[in-house]
Structure 1
């Protein structure tokens, strides 16, 4: 009976398999092999709860029935219950540590919990046990790509492709690795190959959409995202990418709707939605609203421009943010309770509704007319510290006081083109009558010293100001500068939010919302590449503008 039921399953005759397993289980209800096999049939029928019950019972009856534990883990992962999935896969491995697929499945569960190093180790173990296991190779390549080990990732994906050249996922994953290196035209060829093998492959349609968008064809990208969503209506990355594309075009209402998928798509970190109903824009009269920071500090600063409007509408507002921003935000939004985010803060049930800070925009910035006109900043530095820094900056002597930042503290391959090296700033450092002050955070002292030696210029800094952790002190210093020059980093966002003039260099991005400026900071000046101009060329053009300002 067991063999007959398994045969029906293998042949795709699921109804007959259910009948055979049901008859067999009437005679032997505590048979682990029958329970496990029946679970597989129920899984394929989409009866997830019934399948899970069968797998749990099989493994409880016989801990040696490791396939049942592993299958249960895969089910739990599909439900988003990744910690439970990990426990199931580990239970299977206790009894059978040499099964490469089990290690691959464990790695998948670890990866979805954000435990990248442990996931990489488990994928490597899977590949070591079975060097020809293509899905483990492909997953390992994806993990290496996420870890910015791009050469290794590309080699690993090529190995996977040699094993399964006609597998759509392998072709898509290799294209994704090339896309991480900004090789969009090459990536597009592999996405198209994946689609030739499986025309309805939604992830490949989405990835191809991003590739052609980066190559400048937004119209085709829109169509590809639409095709991806027709194939898989709730594909988070397709919804997010299409949302950003629409924001780039200035379609704010539709764009913010897509931007709302940033967490589900994995494009925004730091998410820990509180156990509160989400605010969707309804009337806040009499309500207590929790606004929580998300993504990087720069994003939080940008979206904090909307906090005042939320405060004006709600009975009370609590703002949870990076601890480094707490003093600055508390001073700037005195009507709100500002506290650092973290497990302790999230457990305090003192609000009725919650919203991530970036979602304020879908309520308060539904079109460009909702942005305020040119004005100063909204963040308020500490007056006492501003006075202290006024005295310290005055000792630097006469001249235009210019704060500089040149890169993010985290430079990935995909973000590298947005930043500069300090040794490319020669034209700016040659402008007479300028006093340069570093605002660059992170490990950058060697770069600063090397640039001073190379260009014979002083780039001032103070040992007692921690530019990485002391945002309140940095804000007080910035308030005494005449200008800040920086790429797309928290340095420029903080300066602009304080009302300090900022020259921002780098390419266009979605925060321009289809305009030639950044509506969040109307007075901010953008220096973007023109006609194939490289970063040193942009910096030279900025130097010309700075020089003419001083004449």
Structure 2
């Protein structure tokens, strides 16, 4: 027997030794054994894959990737190597590459539940929510006892607002791994989404009993107790989460909102600055410009770009005039529907639709999202003193048309109404009303009702008219969803607007129209009994034991008792 043959006879023993060392956590010995084995058989895909797993556990990701790639190149049917490479790429935030690897693995092993779960994770991180949800569902179909698949499926269902299904999926995952902190945390998160913070808090406590340093559970527990009214404990929990993970975006953001709810504006705006990183405000633009943080703007051109929803943009637009006064010039890029209204209202700025090229803005020197103007101009409550009652200017010609239309409706107090968001989900439903709850308001004499509810609401309007014997006036030539300039002209012709927390009330109040806003407290009150942004808004909020129906009835009683 030649020396080479003798060495090759050692290969099985070396392979077994390498795998045993790895399983026992003796990574240095495993590296030695794999290295010796690969000297004897450099193109053995199983050895390359095993060596890659060891290097991965040692944190040597580039070396691990090289091994996985080589193993899959030598044997394109080696699905585990492709899948592991995909997971590694996902850990490097290379999610498109991860997706390609997982799909390559599934091309050869389409019945592997873990592969589908990993593909779903990569799809989710690319924002492909529907495709990710389908892949998690496939994973759980293939293996109904796959805990991580059930947990991830629950998260996907929660994000899709399928909250009852999400709770069931998380409950199944919890049964499979009751001692796993993440399963307990995720189940609590599902309950929290269903507005059951007291129940959610129990599961966050269990997660923390299993892992006291679990930063995400500390953050979630903080939000639960904050919603239960214990801001002091919430602050402590956010602090603990940030000591474990100093840059945990959601803890920074939630703590910021807590400060804003207390009227602690300087600290609150610092936390609010984490809204994009925490995923609470959609995607942030990244213009190739320095960010403006309040420094001198003499001679500088400032870009202010819209963010979040139309209602948020309208609220923060109350600060645009102060920015315009500081800069050489200002460009406001916003939702196309707001452009005519903003252009008229801020004649000192160039107002245009949001650029299709979010990065290149050659005519500006600095940039800021519109919500970040507050950290410069509203660092304490005294900065609201003397705020304008209105700052948006309707089109005079269109307003004249609407005044004629209002006059044609006859005598009475002209009341514009909105009752819900266009996007109604389980978690948002409690903040809004149904039109069939407005009976007491419709019974108040001397009111002329005008529809301001955008979106598909015709069936609700017709049903309410039939049930309550009331007319809710509307006009086919006004698109309440897309024509904000026309809607503003209509609103400016009204005596009162009644609406929940939607863009309807924000737009009307920014025009100076009296608004009665119903619903719960939120951070925009900044620790006060009003909303300092909107002097034209009056808040009607549930008292102890009241629900939305009770609040609407109370509003009706006030309208019946006295004029506005």
Shorter-chain TM range is over 0.9
The structural deviation recorded for 1:374 is 4.8
Q: Give structure 2 stretches of 5+ with no counterpart.
A: 1-13
Structure 2 match to 1:242 = 255
Matched, 1:422 2:444: no
Structure 1 match to 2:273 = 260
Structure 2 match to 1:217 = 230
The structural deviation recorded for 1:520 is 0.7
Q: Distance in 2 between matches of 1:275 and 1:14?
A: 45
SS at match of 1:16: helix
Q: Tell me, yes or no, if the aligned pair for 2:256 and 2:269 is still in contact at 8 Å.
A: yes
Q: Tell me, yes or no, if the aligned pair for 1:290 and 1:354 is still in contact at 8 Å.
A: yes
Instruction: Deviation per CA, 1:172-216: give whole Å up to 9, x if none.
Output: 111111111111111111111111121111111111111111111
Instruction: Deviation per CA, 1:124-143: give whole Å up to 9, x if none.
Output: 11111111111001111111
Residue correspondence of structure 1 range 428-467 to structure 2 within 5 A: 428-467=441-480
Structure 2 match to 1:387 = 400
Which one of the candidate residues 360, 363, 378 is aligned to 1:365? Answer: 378
Task: Check 1:22–1:367 CA distance in 2 against 1; reply closer, same or farther (3 A cut).
Answer: farther
Q: Distance in 2 between matches of 1:305 and 1:84?
A: 44
Matched, 1:538 2:551: yes
Task: Check 1:43–1:257 CA distance in 2 against 1; reply closer, same or farther (3 A cut).
Answer: farther
Matched, 1:122 2:135: yes
Q: Tell me, yes or no, if the aligned pair for 2:86 and 2:101 is still in contact at 8 Å.
A: yes
Q: Distance in 1 between matches of 2:343 and 2:94?
A: 37
Q: Distance in 2 between matches of 1:47 and 1:209?
A: 36
Residue correspondence of structure 1 range 42-191 to structure 2 within 5 A: 42-191=55-204
Q: Distance in 2 between matches of 1:5 and 1:349?
A: 58
Matched, 1:548 2:536: no
Matched, 1:476 2:496: no
Which structure would you say has the larger Rg?
2
The number of residue pairs the alignment matches comes to 551
SS at match of 2:351: strand
Q: Tell me, yes or no, if the aligned pair for 1:373 and 1:522 is still in contact at 8 Å.
A: no
Q: Distance in 2 between matches of 1:445 and 1:284?
A: 49
Residue correspondence of structure 1 range 297-312 to structure 2 within 5 A: 297-312=310-325
Task: Check 1:48–1:361 CA distance in 2 against 1; reply closer, same or farther (3 A cut).
Answer: farther
Q: Distance in 2 between matches of 1:30 and 1:319?
A: 60
SS at match of 1:272: coil
The structural deviation recorded for 1:62 is 3.4
Q: Tell me, yes or no, if the aligned pair for 1:374 and 1:523 is still in contact at 8 Å.
A: no
Structure 2 match to 1:413 = 426
Q: Tell me, yes or no, if the aligned pair for 2:285 and 2:358 is still in contact at 8 Å.
A: no
Which one of the candidate residues 35, 48, 52 is aligned to 1:39? Answer: 52
Instruction: Deviation per CA, 1:524-547: give whole Å up to 9, x if none.
Output: 111111122111111121112222
Q: Tell me, yes or no, if the aligned pair for 1:208 and 1:224 is still in contact at 8 Å.
A: yes
Q: Tell me, yes or no, if the aligned pair for 1:478 and 1:500 is still in contact at 8 Å.
A: yes
TM-score after normalising by structure 1: 0.95
Task: Check 1:549–1:274 CA distance in 2 against 1; reply closer, same or farther (3 A cut).
Answer: same
Which one of the candidate residues 307, 317, 329 is aligned to 1:316? Answer: 329
Q: Tell me, yes or no, if the aligned pair for 2:416 and 2:451 is still in contact at 8 Å.
A: yes
The structural deviation recorded for 1:370 is 1.7
Q: Distance in 1 between matches of 2:299 and 2:321?
A: 16
Task: Check 1:377–1:132 CA distance in 2 against 1; reply closer, same or farther (3 A cut).
Answer: same
SS at match of 1:224: helix
Q: Distance in 1 between matches of 2:335 and 2:153?
A: 32
SS at match of 2:117: helix
Q: Tell me, yes or no, if the aligned pair for 1:100 and 1:125 is still in contact at 8 Å.
A: yes
Q: Distance in 1 between matches of 2:144 and 2:454?
A: 43
Q: Distance in 2 between matches of 1:374 and 1:543?
A: 30
Which one of the candidate residues 367, 371, 393 is aligned to 1:354? Answer: 367
The structural deviation recorded for 1:383 is 1.6
The structural deviation recorded for 1:26 is 5.1
SS at match of 2:562: helix
Q: Distance in 2 between matches of 1:52 and 1:339?
A: 46
Q: Tell me, yes or no, if the aligned pair for 1:150 and 1:181 is still in contact at 8 Å.
A: yes
The structural deviation recorded for 1:217 is 0.9
Deviation larger for 475-484 or 301-310: 301-310
Deviation larger for 243-252 or 300-309: 300-309
Instruction: Deviation per CA, 1:117-169: give whole Å up to 9, x if none.
Output: 11111001111111111100111111111112122112212221221121111
Q: Distance in 2 between matches of 1:83 and 1:328?
A: 40
Task: Check 1:327–1:49 CA distance in 2 against 1; reply closer, same or farther (3 A cut).
Answer: farther
Matched, 1:489 2:518: no
Q: Tell me, yes or no, if the aligned pair for 2:157 and 2:166 is still in contact at 8 Å.
A: yes
The structural deviation recorded for 1:22 is 4.2
Structure 2 match to 1:503 = 516
Deviation larger for 10-19 or 519-528: 10-19
SS at match of 1:443: coil
Deviation larger for 248-257 or 325-334: 325-334
Q: Tell me, yes or no, if the aligned pair for 1:339 and 1:345 is still in contact at 8 Å.
A: no
Deviation larger for 270-279 or 536-545: 270-279
Deviation larger for 36-45 or 107-116: 36-45
Matched, 1:398 2:411: yes
The structural deviation recorded for 1:445 is 0.9
The structural deviation recorded for 1:348 is 4.5
Q: Tell me, yes or no, if the aligned pair for 2:52 and 2:64 is still in contact at 8 Å.
A: yes
The structural deviation recorded for 1:312 is 2.3
Q: Distance in 1 between matches of 2:89 and 2:312?
A: 33
The structural deviation recorded for 1:396 is 0.9
Q: Distance in 1 between matches of 2:43 and 2:290?
A: 44
Matched, 1:207 2:220: yes
